[in-house]
Chain A
Amino acid sequence: MSRFVLRRIGLALITLFLLSVLVFIGTQMLPGDVGRRVLGPFATQEAVDALNARLGTDRPLLIQYGDWIGSALTGDLGFSISFSRPVSEMLGRALVNSFKLAALAFVIVVPLSLIGGIVAALNRGKFVDRLITVGGLSATVIPEFVSGIVLIIVFAVWLRWLPGTATAPPGSGFLTQLRYLILPAIPLVLVLFGYIARITRAGVIESLDADYTRTAILKGLPRSTVIRRDVLRNALLPTIAVVASQIGYLIGGLVVVEVLFSYQGVGRLLYDAAQNADFPLLAGGVLVVGAAFQVSMLLADLAYSWLNPRIRLS
């Protein structure tokens, strides 16, 4: 088990390294140089050259990369070029924000879609099943900006029940912050519900049809016990992998929702960094999102093995 974990961590580090190279090459391919992007179109070429020299962005690529990776390995992610602030400070705040939103979305969507999937499977072919599968699928295909705008107009502008922006005033308590995050969490719930519910439904149906379930029923065990002990335990395996794979998306991929609800999460920060060709911020952010992704996958694998003793992680 520990060998498995170590191997996974090793692989994760290699992946992150490759990711950093890709991001570095990617930012170099962005049109326009860094000094020009910071100073804007109307600065003189002299000023742009001077800034590039000071930032070191006029040096050979390998040296720039070597410099950056060297510091990154010691935990120093450098300074954001456009904001002139430590990357770690900016990312730290954004990560906390992203985690809050992701956690709320998870807390709502995971139980909801599990229950939905199970209920659908147990009522296979009936109206409830159709409602959950078709409804969930329809919700999944609504882009976040459509559902987000509708939610804002209805609940923030017309009814004024909930705020239409996600950032609570500084120093707000838990409940206030929660109130601000409800509307932005709903589009995420809509996107994820159909997907997770369908996977759960498929898993449950498969388990219901399996030999061990029939055996358990023939043994005379009560239906609720069979479902709890035999069906769910097996049915949830694929669901866990699916849920874990969404963590990366929730941490770093919410550009649309974050812009729409004016929320400073990692997704929006990365988007701004890419627009400004702000390599230190972009690379730092991508590494952090990559790491979050790796950690969530590792946790999923561990949970998988815990639920399924047939898998030996070695």
Chain B
Amino acid sequence: MERFDAIRRRSTPLQNHVIDEVQYGKITRREFLRRGSLLGLSFPVMGMVLSACAEETAGTTTTAAAGATTVAPGTTGAPGTTAAAGPVTVRVGVDQTAVGIDPVLINDEAGLSLLGQTAQYLVFSDTDLNAVPVLAESWEPNDAADVWTFHLNPSATFHDGSPVTADDVAATFNGPIAEGNAASAYGTFGFSAGNAVAVDEMTVEFTLDQPNGVFPFFVSSDNYNAAILPVSFWENYSEGSYEQSFVGSGPWINESFDPGVSAVYVKNEDYWGDNSAQPARMEVTFFADDAAAVTTFQEGRLDVIHSISFAAADALIDDPNAIIQNISTAQHRQVYFDVSSPPFDDARVRQAIALTLERPVLIDGLLGGFGVAGNDHPIWEGYPMYNADAVEQRSVNLEMAQQLLADAGYPEGFTAPLDTLSFNEVEDLAQLIQASAAQIGVTLEVGVYDSGTYYSDYWLAAAGSMGIVNYGHRGVPQVYLAAPLLSTGTWNASHYANSDYDALFAQFNAELDGDAQRDLAGQIQTLLNEEIPYAVPYFLDFISVTAANFEGLVTTGMGHFDIVNGGFTG
């Protein structure tokens, strides 16, 4: 109990508030871990808090540091994996990268997944939505949540043995990514160039443009451009220069990289964390399409397929040598309506279309069951702030849909375009929405384009139309709530502008307290479900495949993969 009191004394008011919540049973242990980590409580400290709480309530001594289930790359040992004798090579199939491996230009899942083998982040956004310390060992916000201070892990080193310092972090965030320079996720950090400041050798302070209660996720592995690289790299950066060195602090060292063909990684013997169980070698093969990856796997020439479509996974479901590993994610398709012009300027019309969607059928038919129903807002049920009581799940009701259309002045229906891009199951989704809407007399003219054409000519431009766009997973929903919905939002294909919503979002974004976050999230869910600037038919799982004798693949919804603790059994 003395240690518990000591923790109490060292903690900030916000941290103490979370400790209160778990102590009095207001939040679950899992949620405590997540929120505590976000507010800068370390996992050992949280483990102590949890065991103290357990002693208090049950009077027994349970050591329940559930934080041990959270695995940052290479920071814990292998849990019970039998390493085969001799050096182990793991063969991984990865989608062909869209652009080179470049920490500034990167914007695709495959490229990100490879960057993450050699480079690391301050914070790792893991499968269970925890902010796991990696290069930063702790962090804390000021009371207003607009200044965040990160303390670096003193043992962390780059491949050449030099320590990861605050100067490296500042150079990463103030350098080519920010300097009026071109980075794919530049603008999503929420602070201006130069506002990442090295306070001392091991401390970095970020001064934000707006208060942000979940800022650690913004500089975590959730952000494409947040990989921390040394000052010397940034000083000599040019497009493509990363592939000359593949420098970083990660557990793998790149041995070769042949774009579109293969890449080879070897174990970093001087890794700063614990990588004792790491395989000696990882051979990556790139595939332009999933079918080739599946056949190569079936031939026994791959141990892991990093990411696979639902259609391709189907071919392996009955394969005794394949284990389909799916994780639930916040990735979703936004079916947006242009609310600035008829017919979709009337919320009743948008509701009517949403009422025709048979979500369970879509999930079974298009995703093979690998997904969960959405309720026309992007706050996925996996988020801790998700408010289950806020609004009832929308399901098919054609009568009500007809009535709403008639009330809106379209008793005979209408015709409108539905534009989208050719991407995974999206084209089929467009056809099914077309068929659903036809039941209430609405004729949707489906146009499917390649992604370049779609994003440049249709996405933000078309008036009076519907469209479908993909949003990848993030550890917090801020990305989905800001750019596509705020009146100033840069990805606002709906042309939605509602000052009440803008204010609600600002409040939600600045909130540090969990209860208040959940309350505000409930209001957002209700508002968006009612207004429907975009419908969310479903959230998709992230699917990987491993050979039956391989254990220890860790993936995230963003597409990171980690086999540092992986190995073969038997």
Contact = CB atoms under 8 A, between A and B. Distances in A.
Interface in A233-259: 259
A157 B298 contact: yes
A79 interface: yes
A194 interface: no
Interface string B420-460: 00000000000000000000000000000011110111010
B292 A84 contact: no
Contact of A85 (B240, B262, B491): B240
A85 B100 contact: yes
A274 B259 CA distance: 16
Contacts of B469: 41
A290 interface: no
A93 B258 contact: yes
A47 to B, nearest CB: 5
Interface in B284-299: 285-289, 291-293, 295-296, 298-299
A47 B104 CA distance: 10
Nearest to B301: A163
B183 A272 contact: no
Interface stretch (B53-61, B184-192, B533-541): B184-192
B99 interface: yes
Interface residues of B, number: 55
B261 interface: yes
Interface stretch (A14-22, A30-38, A112-120, A213-221): A30-38
B182 interface: yes
B278 to A, nearest CB: 22
A138 to B, nearest CB: 25
A43 B106 CA distance: 11
B240 A275 contact: no
B513 interface: no
Select the residue from B102, B286, B288, B298 with max chain A CB neighbours within 10 A: B288
A222 interface: no
B98 A259 contact: no
Contacts of B300: 160
B162 interface: no
Contacts of A123: none
Contacts of A40: 98, 107-108, 184
Interface string B236-269: 0011110100000000000010111110100000
A170 B284 CA distance: 12
Contacts of B183: 39, 43, 47
Contacts of A93: 258
A41 B459 contact: yes
B185 A42 contact: yes
Contacts of B259: 83, 85, 90
A167 B295 contact: no
B181 interface: yes
Nearest to A55: B239
Interface residues of A, number: 51
B105 interface: yes
Contacts of B452: 30-32, 36-37, 275, 277
A31 B449 CA distance: 11
B182 A35 contact: yes
B453 A41 contact: no
A157 B299 contact: yes
A36 B239 CA distance: 15
A50 B100 contact: no
B243 A39 contact: no
A118 B187 CA distance: 69
A261 B293 CA distance: 10
B87 interface: no
A172 B258 CA distance: 15
B98 A82 contact: yes
Contact of A44 (B187, B241, B243, B287): B187
Interface in A29-79: 30-33, 35-48, 50-51, 54, 79
A47 B457 CA distance: 19
Given A44-B490, A82-B100, A262 B107 contact: no
Report, nearest first, the 4 A-B pairs whose CB atoms are least far apart: A84-B240, A51-B182, A32-B456, A40-B107
16 contacts: A30-B452, A39-B105, A43-B182, A43-B183, A43-B184, A47-B186, A84-B240, A85-B243, A90-B259, A156-B299, A157-B299, A160-B300, A164-B295, A167-B285, A170-B256, A262-B293
Given A43-B184, A260-B292, A264-B260, 8 more contacts: A41-B455, A54-B182, A84-B239, A157-B295, A163-B296, A169-B262, A262-B289, A262-B293
Interface of B: 96, 98-100, 102, 105, 107-108, 180-187, 238-241, 243, 256, 258-262, 264, 283, 285-289, 291-293, 295-296, 298-301, 450-453, 455-457, 459, 469, 483, 490-491
